[in-house]
């Protein structure tokens, strides 16, 4: 074998070996993971409904991952649990249904993997998405006005039941706000996010 | 056949050599300048997206009323235009030119390469529009939709074949160290890109293993694609400009093979503390720390080559950019190795510190080397000289001061941000407020860098359009008077 062939072989060999080590072996180790039965008789993690899955696509389309991670680090490594971002560390099993993954590498905003157990109020989420400073003064999260429809109220009529309740002064007297389907799906997804069930690898 | 540190073209009949070198450079003119010009276009567009994303982080109301321009789309659009538009296209230009120079043959298939350049532009444009329209994949560094990614992999493979064919036509001789790195980039990137698509978007890997595949890929875009092109270019350009061979053959060999062995494994340090098997993270940390070996070898080799010639940084635009880039490579790699350690990562992970680190790599190292390479290549391909030393100076100082401020501000701010996040007694929104001045410093740094890019674009534009300068200037455009030369009287020079 001459030197050129050796060079090519070495280059190809090093990258193939690393893909085996960092991708194929972990896949072999983890692909058999299954949901576990909890004390309440349900299997966890639970698959998302189609509506929630559509919300996950909105989450991806809006690029939430660039500021929000979806992983709780172990106790005594960072302060994730002390901050109330989870009651236990996240484990591989929690992500069985995530395609594509949204683990994230940035926390310009807080971790969201347990946002469903922290905040279950639809109206809070809608206000927060419409204008984050309504619920979180000082937040630098962008507003998402395009996830809402502003409607004008005809004189003498009440806003419909699904209108978002707003603090006074945000909208004009004769206006009300409706979430678009995207917003409803996104909030359904956010509310579904929770790693608060017991798994053999980590207890809450 | 011997692997060598000596440029193979040295030692032959000098006049014959100069003629054939000029012929090689001219053969590159069409396609290679098209790649460079496109890259510069993407650099400008990427800078605009960067400014928008940066401003949004401290002033979230900026351009916030349209989904197309929301932060979560502008930011990945920035990353993908500067990586696949600017960095990849200027890298391909450098690869093609270096391969013809080092193989001592003229460029083959120029029309095919021109078509590839246009198709590449089209693919990057389509991918960027898709991201802004909300069809990005949401997986960092692989946001382009699958068809766009497959097209890019295919086009890159075609460039690789052209490069191999060029190499195969060469007269017998050495393989220069730069060529080892070029072959690395050519063979590594398509495998990485296709495997990442397969494992993440086409269902090959489940759950968190996608995260591992993601960072195996994304870290290697820098480590096994941009780094070999950048380091390879430094290995060619420093000896060319100062007229002296690389210091040590053995250090080159050690640097290349240890990079090939260790950089591959570093990616999972992006997942420290994450829900993956502990061994997988440890492997990434070990790979990262082992990077001390190639980086130290390359740093010593380049330094000992440069010794005694540092005064030329005052005059040579190419050398100034390339040496700045080479030194940043040492700095960013040492920082990266330390950052992978669990104790450091516990603080730096999830903060702006990492963003600063990424820019030190792609900008202060890779992009600066590529700026230097363009300053060297284009005059030789077009037969013209750079029209303004002042614009080159503006470019250098805008980029150099800009990235220094960028890195300094976000490293400092990011580190404190990380320390505060690990103290649960500090409310999260207090940390958000605390980082805002540092984010402003980044926007200001971005303005400086963008000014540099505009100066660079004007220079490239003038050179290619040929509007402002004579076809043949009396000598190269230098940034100052070379040591030992008397001042040239302008009247005399006429």
Percent of the residues in chain B that have a pLDDT greater than 90, as a whole number: 85
- Rounded-to-integer distance, Cα B400 and Cα A92, Å: 42
**Mutation target vs A (from B67, B181, B275; most A CBs, 10 A cutoff):** B275
Angle between helices A181-192 and A50-61 (to 10 degrees): 100
Map residue B314 onto helix, strand or coil: helix
Question: Which pLDDT does position B484 carry in this prediction?
Answer: 60
Sequence-distant (≥ 6) Cβ neighbours of residue B430 within 8 angstroms? B420
Percent of the residues in chain A that have a pLDDT greater than 70, as a whole number: 100
User: Residue B217: which of B236, B196, B246, B194 has the closest Cα?
Assistant: B196
Question: Which pLDDT does position A4 carry in this prediction?
Answer: 87
User: Is residue B349 over pLDDT 80?
Assistant: yes
- Say yes or no: B251 contacts chain A, CB-CB below 8 A: no
Token output for B488: 């040239």
Please count the residues of chain A: 204
The structure tokens 């080092």 sit at B102
- Rounded-to-integer distance, Cα A172 and Cα A180, Å: 20
Contact A14 B436 (CB under 8 A): no
Cβ contacts from A onto B, under 8 A: 222
Question: Which pLDDT does position A202 carry in this prediction?
Answer: 85
Identity of the residue in B183, B257, B283 whose CB atom sits nearest the CB atom of A8: B183
ipTM reported for the complex, 2 dp? 0.94
Question: Which pLDDT does position B469 carry in this prediction?
Answer: 52
Q: Which CATH superfamily is domain A48-202 in?
A: Cytochrome c-like domain (1.10.760.10)
Q: Would you say A145 and A130 are in contact if contact means Cβ atoms under 8 Å apart?
A: yes
| Extended beta strands in A61-170, E state | 148-152
Question: Which pLDDT does position B174 carry in this prediction?
Answer: 82
The structure tokens 């444009």 sit at B125
The counts of H helices and E strands in chain A are 7, 4
- Say yes or no: B126 contacts chain A, CB-CB below 8 A: no
Contact A96 B206 (CB under 8 A): yes
Contact B192 A15 (CB under 8 A): yes
Question: Which pLDDT does position B304 carry in this prediction?
Answer: 94
Contact B424 A79 (CB under 8 A): yes
pLDDT in tens, A146-194: 999 999 988 888 889 999 999 998 998 889 999 999 999 999 999 999 9
pLDDT in tens, B84-119: 999 999 999 999 999 999 999 999 999 999 999 999
Identity of the residue in B1, B138, B350 whose CB atom sits nearest the CB atom of A60: B138
Identity of the residue in B201, B284, B346 whose CB atom sits nearest the CB atom of A78: B346
Question: Which pLDDT does position B483 carry in this prediction?
Answer: 67
Q: Model pTM?
A: 0.94
Instruction: Find chain B residues with C-beta within 8 A of A94's C-beta.
Output: 275
- Rounded-to-integer distance, Cα B271 and Cα B262, Å: 17
Contact B210 A140 (CB under 8 A): no
Sequence-distant (≥ 6) Cβ neighbours of residue B151 within 8 angstroms? B119, B123
User: Is residue B159 over pLDDT 90?
Assistant: yes
- Integer CA distances (angstroms), A125 to A116, A169, B62, B76, B430, in order: 10, 19, 22, 25, 21
Contact B214 A106 (CB under 8 A): no
- Say yes or no: B354 contacts chain A, CB-CB below 8 A: yes
- Rounded-to-integer distance, Cα B366 and Cα B229, Å: 8
Map residue B228 onto helix, strand or coil: helix
- Rounded-to-integer distance, Cα B44 and Cα B81, Å: 10
Question: Which pLDDT does position B488 carry in this prediction?
Answer: 46
Question: Which pLDDT does position B12 carry in this prediction?
Answer: 58
Identity of the residue in A27, A66, A79 whose CB atom sits nearest the CB atom of B71: A66
Q: For B260, which residue in chain A has the nearest alpha carbon?
A: A14
Contact A63 B354 (CB under 8 A): no
Q: Would you say B15 and B54 are in contact if contact means Cβ atoms under 8 Å apart?
A: no
Mean pLDDT score, B180-201? 95
pLDDT in tens, A34-46: 999 988 889 999 9
Confidence of residue B9 (pLDDT cuts 50, 70, 90): low
DSSP per-residue codes, A117-134: HH---HHHHHHHHH-HHH
Contact B350 A82 (CB under 8 A): no
User: Residue A61: which of B198, B132, B11 has the closest Cα?
Assistant: B132
Question: Which pLDDT does position B491 carry in this prediction?
Answer: 45
Q: For A103, which residue in chain B has the nearest alpha carbon?
A: B211
Q: Would you say B331 and B360 are in contact if contact means Cβ atoms under 8 Å apart?
A: yes
Question: Which pLDDT does position B20 carry in this prediction?
Answer: 84
Q: Residue B437's CB: how many other CB atoms inside 10 A? A: 11
Confidence of residue B492 (pLDDT cuts 50, 70, 90): very low
Q: Would you say B330 and B295 are in contact if contact means Cβ atoms under 8 Å apart?
A: yes
Q: Would you say B406 and B54 are in contact if contact means Cβ atoms under 8 Å apart?
A: no
pLDDT in tens, B310-334: 999 999 999 999 999 999 999 999 9
User: Residue B188: which of B254, B128, B282, B261 has the closest Cα?
Assistant: B261
DSSP per-residue codes, B180-202: HHHHHHHHHHHHHHHHHIIIIIS
Contact B284 A98 (CB under 8 A): no
DSSP category for residue B385 = -
User: Is residue B19 over pLDDT 90?
Assistant: no
pLDDT in tens, B217-263: 999 999 999 999 999 999 999 999 999 999 998 999 999 999 999 99
Sequence-distant (≥ 6) Cβ neighbours of residue B18 within 8 angstroms? none
- ω into B40 cis (within 30 of 0): no
Buried b (16+ CB within 10 A) or exposed e, B251-287: bbebbbbbbbbbbbbbbbbbbbbbbbbeebbebbbeb
Beta strand B3-4 with B175-176 is parallel
Question: Which pLDDT does position B490 carry in this prediction?
Answer: 43
Beta strand A43-44 with B175-176 is unpaired
- Rounded-to-integer distance, Cα B456 and Cα A163, Å: 53
Confidence of residue B413 (pLDDT cuts 50, 70, 90): very high
Confidence of residue B180 (pLDDT cuts 50, 70, 90): very high
**Domains in chain B, CATH or no CATH each:** 14-465 (1.20.210.10)
Write down the domain spans for chain A. Answer: 48-202
Q: Angle CA(B86)–CA(B88)–CA(B92) in degrees, nearest 5?
A: 115
Beta strand B3-4 with A175-179 is unpaired
- Say yes or no: B309 contacts chain A, CB-CB below 8 A: no
Token output for B378: 């284009």
């Amino acid at each position: 074998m001459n030197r050129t062939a050796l060079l090519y072989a070495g280059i190809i060999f090093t990258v193939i070996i690393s893909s085996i080590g960092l991708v194929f072996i972990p896949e072999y180790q983890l692909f058999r993971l299954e949901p576990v039965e909890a004390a309440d008789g349900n299997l966890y993690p639970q698959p998302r409904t189609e509506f929630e899955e559509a919300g996950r696509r909105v989450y991806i389309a809006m690029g939430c991952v660039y500021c929000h991670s979806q992983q709780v680090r172990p106790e005594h490594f960072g302060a994730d649990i002390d901050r109330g971002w989870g009651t236990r560390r996240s484990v591989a099993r929690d992500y069985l249904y995530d395609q594509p993954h949204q683990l994230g590498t940035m926390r310009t905003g807080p971790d969201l993997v347990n946002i469903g157990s922290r905040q279950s109020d639809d109206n809070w989420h809608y206000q927060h998405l419409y204008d984050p400073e309504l619920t979180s003064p000082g937040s630098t999260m962008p507003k998402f006005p395009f996830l809402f429809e502003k409607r004008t109220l005809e004189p003498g009529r009440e806003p419909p039941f699904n209108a978002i309740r707003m603090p006074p002064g945000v909208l004009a007297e004769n206006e009300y706000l409706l979430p678009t389907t995207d917003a409803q799906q996104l909030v359904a997804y956010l509310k579904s996010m929770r790693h608060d069930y017991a798994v053999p690898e980590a207890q809450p | 056949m011997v692997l060598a540190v000596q440029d193979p073209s040295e030692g032959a009949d000098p006049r014959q050599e100069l003629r054939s070198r000029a012929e090689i450079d001219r053969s590159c003119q069409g396609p290679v300048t098209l790649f460079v010009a496109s890259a510069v276009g993407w650099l400008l567009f990427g800078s605009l997206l960067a400014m928008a994303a940066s401003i949004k982080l401290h002033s979230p109301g900026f351009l916030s009323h349209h989904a197309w321009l929301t932060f979560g789309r502008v930011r990945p659009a920035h990353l993908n235009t500067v990586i696949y538009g600017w960095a990849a296209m200027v890298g391909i230009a450098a690869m093609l030119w270096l391969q013809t120079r080092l193989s001592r043959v003229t460029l083959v298939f120029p029309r095919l390469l021109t078509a590839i350049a246009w198709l590449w532009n089209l693919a990057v444009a389509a991918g960027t529009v898709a991201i802004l329209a909300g069809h990005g994949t949401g997986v960092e560094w692989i946001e382009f939709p699958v068809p766009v990614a497959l097209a890019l992999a295919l086009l890159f493979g075609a460039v690789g074949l052209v490069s191999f064919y060029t190499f195969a036509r060469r007269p017998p001789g050495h393989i220069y160290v730069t060529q080892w790195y070029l072959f690395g980039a050519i063979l590594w990137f398509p495998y990485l890109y296709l495997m990442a698509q397969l494992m993440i978007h086409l269902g090959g890997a489940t759950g968190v293993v996608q995260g591992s595949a993601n960072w195996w890929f994304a870290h290697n875009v820098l480590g096994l694609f941009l780094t070999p092109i950048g380091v390879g270019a430094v290995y060619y350009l420093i000896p060319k400009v100062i007229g002296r061979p690389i210091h040590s053959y053995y250090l080159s060999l050690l640097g290349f093979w240890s990079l090939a062995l260790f950089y591959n494994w570093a990616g999972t340090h992006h997942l420290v503390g994450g829900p993956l098997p502990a061994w997988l993270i440890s492997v990434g940390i070990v790979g990262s720390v082992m990077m001390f070996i190639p980086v130290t070898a390359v740093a010593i080799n380049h330094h000992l080559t440069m010794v005694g010639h540092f005064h030329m940084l005052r005059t040579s635009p190419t050398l100034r950019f390339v040496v700045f880039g080479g030194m940043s490579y040492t700095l960013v790699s040492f920082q990266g190795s330390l950052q992978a350690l669990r104790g450091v990562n516990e603080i730096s992970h999830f903060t702006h510190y990492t963003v600063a680190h990424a820019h030190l790599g792609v900008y202060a190292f890779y992009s600066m080397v590529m700026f230097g390479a363009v300053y060297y290549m284009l005059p030789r391909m077009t037969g013209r000289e750079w029209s303004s030393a002042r614009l080159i100076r503006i470019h250098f100082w805008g980029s150099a001061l800009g990235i220094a401020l960028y890195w300094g501000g976000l490293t400092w701010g990011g580190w404190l941000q990380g320390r505060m996040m690990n103290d649960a007694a500090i409310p999260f929104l207090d940390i958000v407020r605390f980082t805002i001045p540092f984010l402003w410093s980044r926007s200001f740094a971005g303005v400086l860098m963008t000014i540099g890019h505009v100066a660079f674009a004007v220079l490239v534009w003038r050179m290619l359009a040929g509007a402002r300068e004579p076809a043949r200037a009396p000598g190269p455009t230098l940034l100052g008077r070379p040591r030992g030369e008397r001042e040239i009287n302008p009247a005399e020079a006429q």
